Amino acid sequence: MRKGIHPENYRLVAFKDMSNDDVFLTKSTADTKETIKVDGVEYPLIKLEISRTSHPFYTGKAKLVDTAGRIDKFKNKYQKFKKEAAPEAEEKKEK
């Protein structure tokens, strides 16, 4: 293994799943300005939208997590491509 290419500043960091407020600690080098107290000790905080406690693959449930409104944004974007020709098609069938 090459020397001098791996970070040396690993520390305990709290990761918080924002969809279900689960917090877990692990070592990381990620920078953050936020902190959180866990069991009376203050740790740097990294916020996650989805983690092992809320991901459908790990939970075995199909659970909808839409924190940014992405589903509505998608539907609105592609709504203009819906078949608007349906009334015209019915008129042609009648002839």
How confident is the model over 32-90, as pLDDT tens digits? Answer: 999 999 999 999 999 988 887 877 766 677 645 666 677 777 888 888 787 655 555 55
pLDDT at 8: 87
Q: Are 27 and 56 contacting, i.e. CB atoms less than 8 angstroms apart?
A: no
Which token pair is 94? Answer: 């009648």
Q: Which helix (H) or strand (E) holds 87?
A: helix 86-94
What is the residue whose two structure tokens read 């709290």? 14
* Radius of gyration, alpha carbons of the chain: 24
Using the 8-state DSSP alphabet, how is residue 13 labeled? E
Task: Specify burial of residue 89 (Cβ count, 10 A radius: 0-12, 13-18, 19+).
Answer: exposed
